[in-house]
Structure 1
Amino acid sequence: MADTPVLAALTKGLVDLRREVAALAREPGPAGNDGRDGIDGRDGIDGKDGRDGVDGKDGVGRPGKDGRDGADGADGRDGKDGKDGAIGPMPKHEWRGTKLRFQQDTKKWGPWVDLQGPAGRGGVVVGVGASASSDGSGAFQVAERLGEIAGDAAAQEQAQANLGLGVVDPLAYYILAKS
Structure 2
Amino acid sequence: MSLHDSRLIEELAKRHAALKAVVENIAKQEGPRGKDGKDGAPGKSIRGEAGEPGPKGDMGPMPDHKWTGTKLTFQKPDGKWGKAVDLKGDKGDAGGLVVVRGGGSSTGIGDLLPGNPNVEPAAIVVQQGSQLVSLGWSAFVQSVITAADMTSELSRRADFVGDTILYRGEAAPGADENAAVWKIKRVEFVVVPDGKTDILEKFASGTADFVNAWSDRAALEYL
TM score, norm. by length of structure 2 = 0.25
The two structures have a TM-score, normalised by structure 1, of 0.30
- The structure richer in strand per residue is 2
Larger Rg: 1
